[in-house]
Amino acid sequence: MPAEPLAPRYMTRFRCIAERCEDTCCGGLRVPVSEAQWHRMQATVAGNPEASERLYQLVLPNAAGASSTEHAFIDMRPDGHCPFLDTERLCSLQRRHGDAMLPDICATFPRVVTRWGERVEVTGTLACPEVARLCLLAEDAVEPDSLPPELQHAFRPESARRIPLDEEDAYTFHADSVRAAMLRLLGRLEYPLASRFALLGHLAYALDGFYFRGTESFEGEERSGAEDQLTEVLQRFESPEVLEAGHRDFTSLALPGGPCVGLFTSVLKARLAAGRGERFTSLVRGVLESLPLGAGSPSELDTAWRTYVERWQRLEALHGEQVRRYFHNYAVHHLWRSPFTDAPSLLAYVFRLALRVGLLRLTLVGHPQVAALCHAPSPTPDAREQLDRAAVECFQLVAKHVEQAPDFLSLAEGLVGPGRGADALGKVLIFATF
């Protein structure tokens, strides 16, 4: 009998809050329709000329050429919302025709289902505000758990991402033990998150010579030697002396933050120009005004960097535990939700994670409400609630409107290049210090 799906605990608590939600599932997203689903949709409305015509008007063939998973796309409204939403912001397709009519992404959202060999893992996307709340705010939110049977109907196993744990592909075959080592490193809460990212970078660098996508180091007679080397590296990063030395070296680094501020500002401005809806626009405008960041001259970036550092110190002093939890939970969630085997190397993956965290840190301290909280003389329960609300807003809107955007993904790819060697490690360390 197959084991129950694994899930971080926040997903065992998730229930859609529907009309109480501050967003809609599909607002601002691209909604692909697979070929199989397109045929199911056509069959469902056959005999209903009006519904059929509407379907042909609003589901358009993939202009880039049809694939089995992106055969067509729903033609979203200019405001980014789905044309099938009714006046109560509920899905008219689901209301009239039931769940079977929904494209996979709509039926599954906000769940992200990955099949590692035979094991199924169900995580969530922080693009859903309720998932973001549950993931970021509870201390035990990212502990592994099993998904209870009553929650297993809520996704389509056949649409799960598949990662075949094929012995011929050493990168994916050993992914489980590598990810477990990364999770253990992230769990070393005695070190600041920045040091834990630096240690992840060093772990990735130590594996970089022989463990990456397409490696041939595990082939034939080389296999057992390469496996021993992998085990040795993973064990080395359990050693308290190695961790302590890595932390000490990293904290002695002093790197300028102005260029990172400039980079994150240009990312936010590019997404603002893409017109991503009222909530995102208002957040980004607030962040740019509060730091403040206008034209982005070098002196302005340095001033914004100093403001950023001062606010972080204040936030740490007032709400350190709370803020540390947001970012720790986010990083662990990311390891669950986004398999590192999607990246060509572990270094490239750790770099992308550090880049995302840097952008989130800038967005959070730039949030006007957080800026105001930094001036408070002492923490109060009300201030803690305001900070939680601001954090959920930042992480959710960045997840929805920035993290999966093609321009952001290609920026990350361009910055890290092939994602190998000392150069890539250096870039991890720069963003880890931010």
Interface with ligand SF4: number of residues (CB under 6 A): 11
Query: Which lies closer to ligand SF4 via its Cβ, residue 26 or residue 293?
Result: 26
Token reading at 250: 């990293």
Single out the residue of 11, 23, 185, 234 in contact with ligand SF4 (rule: CB under 6 A): 23
Query: Which lies closer to ligand SF4 via its Cβ, residue 128 or residue 318?
Result: 128
Residue 133 main-chain phi, psi, to 5 deg: -60, -50
Which residue, 110, 116, 109, 111, is CA-closest to 3? Answer: 116
Shortest Cβ 89–ligand SF4 spacing (Å): 8
Binding status of residue 21 toward ligand SF4 by CB under 6 A: yes
State the Rg of the chain over Cα.
23
C-alpha–C-alpha distance, residues 105 and 37, integer Å:
11
Single out the residue of 4, 12, 16, 138 in contact with ligand SF4 (rule: CB under 6 A): 16
Which region, judged by CB under 6 A, interacts with ligand SF4, from 18-26, 239-247, 254-262, 289-297? 18-26
Query: Which lies closer to ligand SF4 via its Cβ, residue 22 or residue 238?
Result: 22
Shortest Cβ 405–ligand SF4 spacing (Å): 18
Which residue, 291, 318, 175, is CA-closest to 234? Answer: 175
Strands (DSSP E) contained in 111-218 are 111-116, 119-124, 144-146, 161-163
DSSP category for residue 25: S
Shortest Cβ 16–ligand SF4 spacing (Å): 3
Shortest Cβ 23–ligand SF4 spacing (Å): 5
Build a one-symbol-per-residue string for 112-151: x at contacts with ligand SF4 by CB under 6 A, - elsewhere.
----------------xxx---------------------
The residue of the chain with the least Cβ separation from ligand SF4 equals 21
Query: Which lies closer to ligand SF4 via its Cβ, residue 197 or residue 280?
Result: 280
Residues from 84 through 113 that contact ligand SF4 (CB under 6 A):
109-110
Q: Are strands 111-116 and 161-163 parallel, antiparallel or unpaired?
A: parallel
Binding status of residue 230 toward ligand SF4 by CB under 6 A: no
Which region, judged by CB under 6 A, interacts with ligand SF4, from 13-21, 237-245, 251-259, 402-410? 13-21
DSSP category for residue 85: B
Shortest Cβ 399–ligand SF4 spacing (Å): 11
H/E element holding 209?
none
Query: Which lies closer to ligand SF4 via its Cβ, residue 352 or residue 400?
Result: 400
In sign, the C-alpha dihedral spanning 353, 355, 358, 363 is: negative
Give me the amino acid identity at 27.
G
CB environment 118-151: b (16+ within 10 A), e (fewer): eebbbbbbbbbbbbbbbbbbeeebbeebebeeeb
Query: Which lies closer to ligand SF4 via its Cβ, residue 21 or residue 100?
Result: 21
Single out the residue of 6, 7, 11, 25 in contact with ligand SF4 (rule: CB under 6 A): 25
Which region, judged by CB under 6 A, interacts with ligand SF4, from 16-24, 149-157, 169-177, 237-245? 16-24
Q: Which residues contact 230 (CB under 8 A, 6 or more apart)?
A: 174, 177, 178, 207, 210, 211
Shortest Cβ 1–ligand SF4 spacing (Å): 30
Binding status of residue 31 toward ligand SF4 by CB under 6 A: no
Binding status of residue 17 toward ligand SF4 by CB under 6 A: yes
Binding status of residue 189 toward ligand SF4 by CB under 6 A: no
Helices and strands of the chain, counted as H and E runs = 19, 8
Query: Which lies closer to ligand SF4 via its Cβ, residue 25 or residue 373?
Result: 25
Query: Which lies closer to ligand SF4 via its Cβ, residue 147 or residue 432?
Result: 147
Q: Which residues contact 137 (CB under 8 A, 6 or more apart)?
A: 325, 326, 388, 392
Shortest Cβ 276–ligand SF4 spacing (Å): 15
Task: Give all strands of the β-sheet with 32-33 in edge-to-edge order.
Answer: 32-33, 72-74, 59-61
Query: Which lies closer to ligand SF4 via its Cβ, residue 112 or residue 428?
Result: 112
Shortest Cβ 135–ligand SF4 spacing (Å): 12
**Rounded to an integer, what is the distance from CA 423 to the centroid of its chain?**
24
Q: Where are the alpha helices (DSSP H) in 338-380?
A: 346-366, 368-373
Cα–Cα distance list, 372 to 102, 261, 411 (Å):
43, 20, 32
Interacting residue ranges for ligand SF4, rule: CB under 6 A: 16-18, 21, 23, 25, 109-110, 128-130
